[in-house]
Structure 1
């Protein structure tokens, strides 16, 4: 609800009108709400209309990408309604993408937007307890990035795997009525494959957040051999189908989306037919091409960062 009266909030939440009045006053005093005009009276005392202040706090979201000739960061400063306040993209030499480069960008954004209260960072690699332990960007491996930013600026910080965020963004956009299981598998030029997994409406990260690192499946190939075969159109489909079949056999999803620069539209049906060599038809998921992975990626990062902030706004406000 962008706006409403205390009675409308009470009806929506199931709380008493008195409790809602107390909470609304607290939010108003904190600046998280603003008062609008009184509601038109239908005979009784007119009710006060409150509007949520979507600019009460901002978040900053950074997507760190590994490239062949350079690395990049796509960033956005977003308000509490998920609307972009500022956005941009930076490129750097592959050996220059490191903790210092990322922190310098965050410093600049927080200087320009002091109401930033949370930072979300998406990275290509496995992340455990805020630390990247496997990545296509070696300079970020084993770096306590989240702790460094948190201690420097006193904001909430999440660091999350790119594929987890992509599948989460896709799931949130679909607005499923029931909790479903979906997978996004990516095959990108210059990288080994990976996957994001949602099981019954929840991201499946695994014990050490290593789930989805399908490049480590026992293909009987070294990573160099796997890389070479995936980048050869004559062998791409069979290797991709073996990875996808493993995901289907273990996770049994409703939907499996393929994405990445190595995947062409006609590849979806070819890979599906290859999978039928291993998986019975009745257990095959709906297989589709994900045309807008970056849009889903950013949407997932914004959603997750806003959720991390929603539990801590009051504590953050006290610190500030």
Structure 2
């Protein structure tokens, strides 16, 4: 009890927990009540987008419970490393208790280095290394937009921890992307290339693939081909199709054509959800919060 009391007093002094005073007495000595202080520190999430030629960054500030305290979107002519630094300078100047920054990008990120990216000025940039040198003491993560979206959707749906889950997105004038949860864990791949489903062997050039994505019949064919491939490889319990190029009215025919190639007992639940901005942000905030915890996991081996 003395040890616990000492630790609690230290946490109260630092402000990490709040002393709520004694509880109501039930006959004996009243218990002391404490509460985790979610506002002791905060984190910032940046979502970088490029849609229909418009570049934007959505920034959000959240507390340690993952609750969004502020959210705003700005449009830019160009987004590069300097753009991100200027935005963070502004945000960190306003909020002095930020402990972590998470960044979502429309591209591939590996060990803090951006690879293929829809924002050309960011491709090939070691963004995390640059930002960590500029902002010492801040935890920095960067992650692919599809991985964050699937992470957010998965957590909000409360699937079984060992479930397989997939998200597939078809946006206008962009190649398809996907994100996967395998056995309850996000699948990134050996070189963080997992989910780049536009590289599936469709039997056509990438230029022709992009052209077909602009026609109703072409996109239907590519969607079915991609879904069948995903089912055969990871056998998900559910698959969510997202993106502005997909309409809810397409679901029935997509499912029917998939069932012609996949036995019914192996078909996942198929859903169409065009707007996943909330789930994307949820995934980013959740993953950024997790970056503040110890990088140690206990894995039970069968």
Q: Secondary structure at the match of 1:234?
A: helix
* 2:257 alignment counterpart: 274
Q: Conserved in 1, the CA contact under 8 Å of 2:247 and 2:274?
A: no
TM-score scaled by structure 2? 0.93
Shift of 1:84: 2.2
C-alpha spacing 1:47/1:212, structure 2 compared with 1 (3 Å)? same
In the alignment, does 2:202 pair up with 1:219?
yes
* 1:31 alignment counterpart: 15
C-alpha spacing 1:277/1:177, structure 2 compared with 1 (3 Å)? closer
Shift of 1:18: 5.4
Which residues of 2 match residues 116-265 of structure 1 at below 5 A?
A: 116-154=98-136, 155-265=138-248
* 1:54 alignment counterpart: 38
Shift of 1:310: 3.0
Paired with 1:272 and 1:111, the residues of 2 have a C-alpha distance of 50
Q: Secondary structure at the match of 1:166?
A: helix
Shift of 1:175: 1.9
* 2:299 alignment counterpart: none
Q: Conserved in 2, the CA contact under 8 Å of 1:185 and 1:258?
A: yes
Q: Conserved in 2, the CA contact under 8 Å of 1:258 and 1:268?
A: no
Paired with 1:220 and 1:26, the residues of 2 have a C-alpha distance of 64
- Greater Cα offset, 293-302 or 33-42: 33-42
Paired with 1:52 and 1:29, the residues of 2 have a C-alpha distance of 13
Shift of 1:68: 2.0
Q: Conserved in 1, the CA contact under 8 Å of 2:166 and 2:179?
A: yes
- Gaps of at least 5 residues in structure 2 are 296-302
Paired with 1:249 and 1:23, the residues of 2 have a C-alpha distance of 52
* 2:277 alignment counterpart: 294
Q: Secondary structure at the match of 2:291?
A: helix
Q: Secondary structure at the match of 1:197?
A: strand
| Backbone CA RMSD of aligned residues | 1.5
Q: Conserved in 2, the CA contact under 8 Å of 1:194 and 1:213?
A: yes
Q: Conserved in 2, the CA contact under 8 Å of 1:66 and 1:136?
A: yes
Paired with 1:147 and 1:250, the residues of 2 have a C-alpha distance of 35
Paired with 2:262 and 2:2, the residues of 1 have a C-alpha distance of 58
Paired with 1:45 and 1:278, the residues of 2 have a C-alpha distance of 69
How far does the alpha carbon of each residue in 1:197-236 deviate from its partner, in whole angstroms, 9 at most, with x for none? 0011000111011011001111122221111101111221
Shift of 1:311: 3.2
Give aligned pairs, total: 294
Q: Conserved in 1, the CA contact under 8 Å of 2:241 and 2:273?
A: yes
Paired with 1:176 and 1:281, the residues of 2 have a C-alpha distance of 21
How far does the alpha carbon of each residue in 1:44-87 deviate from its partner, in whole angstroms, 9 at most, with x for none? 22222112111111100011111222111111011112222221
Paired with 2:9 and 2:123, the residues of 1 have a C-alpha distance of 46
Shift of 1:22: 4.1
How far does the alpha carbon of each residue in 1:5-51 deviate from its partner, in whole angstroms, 9 at most, with x for none? xxxxxxxxxxxx55543432332232201211211111222222112
Shift of 1:242: 0.7
